[in-house]
Structure 1
Amino acid sequence: MSDNKDTKRPHENGTDPVAKALAGTLEPPVLNHRPRNKRQKTKGPPPPVPSRPRQCHFLLLSKGKYCSLTTKLGNKFCGEHSMYETTADPTSTSNANENGAKTEGEGFQQTARKRIPCPFDPSHTAWADDLKAHLYKCNARPKDEPAQYSKDINLTLPAPKGSSDIGDSQGAAQPSNSGAKAIQTNSDILSTLSSDQFVALVKKIQDMYTKYVPEIQTVILDHPALDERKKMIKNIKHARQQASLLGNMERLHMLDDPTTCYVEFGAGRGELSNYLKIAVDDHGTATFVLVDRTPSRNKFDSILLGQEEIKSLVKRHTMDIKDLVLAEVPELRIDVTATQRTPPVEEKSKDEGGSKEPQYVQKKPVVAISKHLCGGATDLTLKCLTNFQATERGRSSLPSPVKGILIALCCHQLCHHYMYPNQEFLEEIDINPEEFVYLTRMSSWAVCVNQTKTEKTSNSKPDSSDENNANSPNDITGDDDDHRIEADSALDKLSTHIPTMDFQARARLGQQCKRLLDIGRVRYLQQNGFDAKLVYYVDQETSLENLALMAVPSSSSN
């Protein structure tokens, strides 16, 4: 017979956040309050006592009005200001106005009950003598991590202390904890190099590019899944990219098996998966898993379900890729389908207890896709997929658990050394953590907009009434999927270093930096049993970030 346990109240041990909060060992979150610069208002007479029934009598001096929250019957103050419910000290007249209402910022008499900041979220308070009950029902209470969560499981090296987030706007990577000195992380990092150091670094990159980067093939395709979309919009550059990606997936036989689980990393709204479903025409047999760090508005999730009687299995996981254990995602199990959307509960006999490992369940074949997966997120995805491949080998009956990878690459300036999967390749080309930062910084020059062109186009403003007219398909100076970078002041500060390097030469050097990082990714997949290639899937007039990493299992690994 099962025990009657309160699932909302776990055992109070060292790992329970409520127990930590009660013991005072929980570190409160750091709240990033925005500074408010308000003009000082002249202090006027207090407003009259609220006439609305059961309105809180707490006077907000900063706003010159009373709190608008509702009180309980018989009370003058709402729950947030209920600590002021008792009568003020008769000897003190500073804590009440002439109408008997309490005011903000003045000395109140301390009541018998005390309110303290909530340990989970100090922006609100709770009764000190009722803290335990509040912590169990507090909306800010940390949620239990799912089975597919394992902190930093997909990092190649341990994250350095104080490392920035993947989406750092500066895009400067931190050094690994290999003894390298601290590295400046702002956009002017290249200006710290001397002229000789910079010239030597440029020559080193150019030599490595010539030695390691082969000629890259151009394969621009189309797919009928985007035909209707192209007829509906005027700016079709996004549709061209999606159509070419789907066409290359069809060319590599990634759309053949309708029982495949398609995992879109950095999914955003899930638009690519939406057209992928049209291309697959799965009739509810395919599975779509969307992974993104933040929830997205205007999602395509409901459209992905389809209009047929049997809806497709669609699941969105809001999680950082660095913490994702793909093998534990329930939707990958072969016994989780469109009609059976949750894993069956395994009943244990009395003599088994809880010591026996769960029985292995066959996984569906996985195809990983992404359109413009920024910087380090690509490296984390490759590590996540190879970890999944290693976990399933020897257990899965499939020749290769991952049957395809297609990632449109971008934003190499957001790469981090400790996330980069092929550390052996960096050692081979003699790029240390410090030079890796310079490499990523210079990679942004490949997509910097020429300042001269920007000035010309800024004079002619597009018609804001039609967002489809905002940028023409052939305007490379316009929006490039939000991955375009303006030529910045750091380039001007380097004028003493590179007096003969014009804009085109800088762009060419930026491309060489990008391709060096990409070829290391290709070789990493090749070492893990994939036939991987870099392919230009659209022209540069459609997108400056026009390169995709495509991989299928090699014949030797099948």
Structure 2
Amino acid sequence: MADVVDESPQSPQQRCQFRPGGKICPLPVRQGASFCGAHDAARPECPACGTRLRDAAALKKHVTARCPVTRRRRVAQQANWYSASTNLPPPSTANNIPVARALPLVLHTLQTALPAPRKMRAPAALPELRLISDAWSDQRDSSVKMQPKHFTQIASLCALALSSHTPSQPHQPAVIELGAGRAYTAMFAANVLSLRDDPPHVLVTDRHTTRWKADRTLRAWQSTGKIASFTRCTTDLADLDMRRLPFLQTCNRVYILGKHLCGDASDLAIYGATRLARHLHQHANDTPAVITLVLACCCRALCTDRTYTFDQCLKPHISPSEFAAITPCCALGLDEKRRNKPHLGNQCRLLIDSARVQWMNANGWQAALCTYTKVSPENTCIVATWNPNKLTNANLS
């Protein structure tokens, strides 16, 4: 008689009891255990990727040879553009401002101390983007799947950066997208420049190695000559030294774009772009490069006091504790869960962006704020053009 196989599903006691956000882990567990190998807190955890290993020996072997995050970091450290923590400021010294002031008083102090930033109007959409909008919008037969609101945001950022571009041979322009993710913004900007018979060098950077949607298209454009070159850097913005990129030494126009750079990433991008602009200005042969920076700021609630924006613009007026009380309020009024007190949220976001613009105007930029879209509440971007005649701080190396 054939054995009867019990095909009934495992009981809940035989499943992992880990419940992240109410979800159920489907992995089985060993007899007598409550968690699977991936969620057993008693097992040592890899500090880089979070994988839990059997014991200390397995952890050492994993970190040495198998951890994918560690391997990617080793590859990045061998690149010519890598410089550990190059865009991070030195540790901030403590100030003597009391920390017991109420939030309304802190906001009033900043509004009085910070000058109102110049605001500019978003330009009209580029005609080149109108030609490709039907093919690259959210259509069934599109090769690039994108929601219409994202296309609207990218089109506005490209218009702010490229509206005044004119081809100038023999030097080629460069497009740099920071926090690129899928790199759609860089792809749109590169397509506009190629339609103007000015194929650019394209550089995209992001911490993650997933969602490389536009890379295949950009590499195909490189092989056909539609763009001059394509490079992707997988690293943190704190470690990206753009001064070491060889193709930037011969570019006469550099467009640095960032769509929804979260928290301190916007400040790291501003500082890295400033170092690049000073380097290109100091080593210019004939005509210095025209550098345009367009950053769509995002998630200001994640900002910390480890930035030049705080150290040089906010620190003389408020303490780190008061700054830590302001940043959570930046999330107010952005979605249904945090729709209370939208005026306070707008006020806090404007103060942080005003400090960024003030720092940029004091360090060689002609910067302004711009409302670049109406399809999302996070709709403020910083538009800046390098103007070396405004340099006042010679300590930035």
- 2:326 is matched with 439
Pair 1:223 & 2:116 matched: no
Pair 1:320 & 2:320 matched: no
- 2:186 is matched with 273
2:263 to 344, 368, 375: 375
| Letter paired with 1:150 | S
CA deviations 1:109-163 (Å, max 9, x no partner) are xxxxxxx6584525989xxxxxxxxxxxx979944532221111111233xxxxx
Structure 2 CA distance, aligned partners of 1:204 and 1:552?
A: 31
- 1:384 is matched with 272
| Letter paired with 2:386 | P
Structure 2 CA distance, aligned partners of 1:225 and 1:555?
A: 31
Structure 2 CA distance, aligned partners of 1:309 and 1:139?
A: 32
TM-score (norm 2): 0.71
1:248 is displaced (CA, Å) by: 1.8
Structure 2 CA distance, aligned partners of 1:508 and 1:381?
A: 28
Runs of 4+ in 1 over 6 A off after TM superposition: 33-37, 138-141
Q: What SS is found at the alignment partner of 1:148?
A: coil
* Total equivalences in the alignment: 330
Structure 2 CA distance, aligned partners of 1:256 and 1:555?
A: 23
Structure 1 CA distance, aligned partners of 2:72 and 2:214?
A: 28
| Letter paired with 1:151 | A
Residue correspondence of structure 1 range 101-500 to structure 2 within 5 A: 117=58, 119=60, 121=62, 142-143=74-75, 144-158=77-91, 176=92, 178=94, 197-198=101-102, 201-209=103-111, 212-214=115-117, 216-219=119-122, 221-227=124-130, 228-230=132-134, 232-233=137-138, 236-251=148-163, 253-254=164-165, 256-257=167-168, 259-281=172-194, 285-307=199-221, 309-312=224-227, 313-334=229-250, 365-397=253-285, 399-401=287-289, 403-421=291-309, 423-428=311-316, 430-447=317-334, 449-450=335-336, 486-487=337-338
Structure 2 CA distance, aligned partners of 1:535 and 1:507?
A: 19
Asked if 2 retains the 8 angstrom alpha-carbon contact of 1:154 and 1:322, the reply is yes
Structure 2 CA distance, aligned partners of 1:293 and 1:512?
A: 30
Q: What SS is found at the alignment partner of 1:416?
A: coil
Larger Rg: 1
Q: What SS is found at the alignment partner of 1:384?
A: helix
Structure 2 CA distance, aligned partners of 1:215 and 1:364?
A: 27
Q: What SS is found at the alignment partner of 2:210?
A: coil
Superposed CA RMSD: 3.8
1:212 is displaced (CA, Å) by: 2.7
Q: Which runs of 5+ in 2 are unaligned?
A: 1-17, 38-53, 140-146, 392-397
1:332 is displaced (CA, Å) by: 2.3
1:261 is displaced (CA, Å) by: 1.2
1:530 to 365, 377, 383: 365
Asked if 2 retains the 8 angstrom alpha-carbon contact of 1:445 and 1:510, the reply is yes
Judging by fraction of residues, say which structure has more helix. Answer: 2
Asked if 2 retains the 8 angstrom alpha-carbon contact of 1:225 and 1:243, the reply is no
Structure 2 CA distance, aligned partners of 1:435 and 1:260?
A: 42
1:223 is displaced (CA, Å) by: 2.2
- Identity rate, percent: 24
| Letter paired with 1:204 | V
1:512 is displaced (CA, Å) by: 1.2
